[in-house]
Amino acid sequence: MFSWDDITTWTVLVVDDEPDNLEVITETLEFRGAKTCSAKNGEEGLSAYVEFKPAILLIDLSMPNIDGWQMRAKLKTNQHYGGEPMIALTAHAMAGDRERALAAGFDGYLTKPINVATLVEDIRESLKTQAGKEATHDHDH
């Protein structure tokens, strides 16, 4: 049973067209006890999603063919999609990128290069921040 507190229950799909990023992220998560699956592009990511059934998705925004934005949109309309959190990965930490990704429906946002020492905490934190935001918006209505 998936638990945010127990990384050994995590199944993470990592989608990134840069082999070094893919390797660093998957190895870091596996070292900590998570199960991972990796894909080099959005097309592979969509197939891997259906086969692997991840609890969390880390998706690079800029990839050839199907990029992270498109992959997210396609997943949302996929009959197998169960609402698992999707975290945007980007090296373009420009002003407004985080807001754009979150506004587009990503559940969290991480900048590359990732920090190996804090990756797991960064994943948890990015999702908490977003969840907290949504909770505060609810009070505005």
User: What token pair was written down for 126?
Assistant: 């990015």
pLDDT (0 to 100) of residue 137 = 39
pTM given for the model: 0.90
Bridge-based pairing state of the strands 56-60 and 35-39: unpaired
pLDDT (0 to 100) of residue 71 = 97
Other CB atoms within 10 Å distance of the CB of residue 99: 10
On the question of pLDDT at 2 being above 70, the answer is: yes
Q: How confident is the model at residue 118 (pLDDT cuts 50, 70, 90)?
A: very high
Alpha helices in 1-141 (DSSP H): 19-32, 42-52, 68-76, 97-103, 119-138
On the question of pLDDT at 79 being above 60, the answer is: yes
Domains observed in the chain: 7-138 (3.40.50.2300)
Hey, which residues does 139 pair with through a beta bridge? Answer: none
Mean pLDDT for the stretch of residues 110-116: 92
Amino acid of residue 123: I
On the question of pLDDT at 75 being above 70, the answer is: yes
59 contacts 87 by C-beta, under 8 angstroms: yes
For tokens 């990756």, the residue is: 119
Q: Computed from CA positions of residues 50, 43, 106, 36, in that sequence, does the dihedral angle turn out positive or negative? A: positive
On the question of pLDDT at 85 being above 90, the answer is: yes
22 contacts 14 by C-beta, under 8 angstroms: yes
Please give the Cα distance from 106 to 90 (Å, whole number). 12
pLDDT tens for each residue of 39-67: 999 999 999 999 999 999 999 999 988 99
Mean pLDDT for the stretch of residues 98-109: 91
